[in-house]
Structure formats: C-alpha cells, structure tokens
Amino acid sequence: MTIIEAIERGLGPMSLTQIAKASGMGPSKAHRYLVSLSRIGLIAQSKHSGLYDLGPAMRRVGVESLRRMDEVGLVSEHLPELRDRTSHAVNLAVWGDHGPVLVRWAYGSYALPITVRVGATMPLLTSSVGRVYLAYLPESLTLPVLESQLAADPKGIPSADELTALREEVRRRGVAETSGGVVPGVMSLAAPVFPAGETIPLVIALALPAALADTATMTAIEAELLHTIEVISNDLGVAQQLP
C-alpha cells in the first residue's frame, strides 16, 4: 500500500527512483514490491518509457469504488428534480483514468441527436464537463489527458495562455458552457460539486438542443443548476461559494 499510495500521490507515471524516494524505501526493496504488484495487475510498467503507473486491476477497483461512493448516490438523487425543473437532460460525471466519465444520465423532454452511454469518457476541451475539470484540477492531471485526447491533432492543443483564460472564465462564472463541441446542435452547461474532504469534484451538466438555447432559457437553466449545486453542497456538508 505504501508503494501504491506513493504512485497515487505522484499524479502520473513515475520512475523506480521516484517511487522509492516517495515511499521511503531503497530502490531494490521498492522494485521487489513493484514486481509483485505488477504480477497481479495493480501496477503496470510502460514498455516504452519504463515508468510505473496504476494498473488495470487498480482501475477495476477504482470503478467499483466509484460505483459504491455515497457521494455519487447522494448527488444522483438530485438529478431527476433538476431535469424536471428544466425539462432538459441531466448527467453526472466523475474523474477517471482518461478523463471525465459519465456515471449517470437522465433524459429530458427534448430529443437529442445523441445516445449517451453511462461509462463514456468525455473530451476535456470540447465538453462542458471536461472544461470544469480543466478549471478545477491541477495541470499534472489534466494536461496528459488533454494531450492524449488531442494526439491526432497536435495543433489543436491550446496554448498555455488560452488554457489559463478558459480556466479563469469557468471559475469566475461558476459554470462551463459549450455549444456543438461534442455533438452538433447540442448546448451544454456544467458545474462542479465538491464532496467533503475531496479535491476532485463531481460535475453535473445539462444538455439541450441548441435551437432552444436563447439567452433567457440559458440564464434560467444556469440559475437552476447553481441552485442545485448549492443544495447538494449543503447535503454533503460543504459550504460551496457560488459566483
């Protein structure tokens, strides 16, 4: 567990030397543990870089842990009410190995040109959910995921200044908004929920046809979303400051 926790705190792939130092062990002792952990899939070593990271068995444990999280269940209880008040589709996302993962989806009254499956990973840059995570998670977590998602188009990776501006806008407003970023014709609005004692938020998002997204509608939806976030935060025992 000392080895696993050291890698978890490292927030990314680590060398043997880094793991040994972070776990307070000698390199030879740390290596013996890494070999054992790799055999059962809790740790994996890259064939290209030689760096170590959490393995497939750990991801399975993580997914099951997310499924059992009380926070996810509590937040999920508020989704139908938000959907009913706005008439639009509502979803809930958590942070996964490769970006935001949808764990709940409640369809609204309006048909959307998309079939969303629970377990789908959302893009960081073009989804409202992804932009919330870009704004509130450290770059050590988000940048590798962003680069991986945009690997097919390196020129599409925004500059440091552009990312800074995006983060500041989301934090200033308290929500992230995208239009047609994931699916043409769909507008989305997302905001974070911070569980007590956790640094990684859950994210609630609304999705609606862009044709219905006039200024008055978006203002009303944003108010409902932020109100729901405030109610959930109170239920979680967290004083969340809204913009």
Mean pLDDT by 10 residues, the chain (243 residues): 91 92 94 95 93 90 69 87 94 91 90 77 92 93 87 73 92 92 87 79 93 91 94 74 47
Same domain, 47 and 74: no
Residue 63 lies inside a defined structural domain of this protein = no
Q: How far apart are CA 11 and CA 14, in angstroms?
A: 9
Same domain, 156 and 47: no
Same domain, 30 and 132: no
- Confidence (pLDDT) at 196: 66
- Confidence (pLDDT) at 63: 73
Give the residue numbers spanning the domain of 148: 69-236
- Confidence (pLDDT) at 73: 81
- Confidence (pLDDT) at 9: 87
Domain boundary among 56, 79, 101: 56
Same domain, 49 and 94: no
- Confidence (pLDDT) at 155: 66
Same domain, 185 and 87: yes
Residue 38 lies inside a defined structural domain of this protein = yes
Q: How far apart are CA 203 and CA 137, in angstroms?
A: 12
Same domain, 138 and 186: yes
Residue 144 lies inside a defined structural domain of this protein = yes
Considering its fold, how many domains does the chain have in total? 2
- pTM beyond 0.75: the answer is no
The CATH number for 96's domain is: 3.30.450.40
Same domain, 118 and 18: no
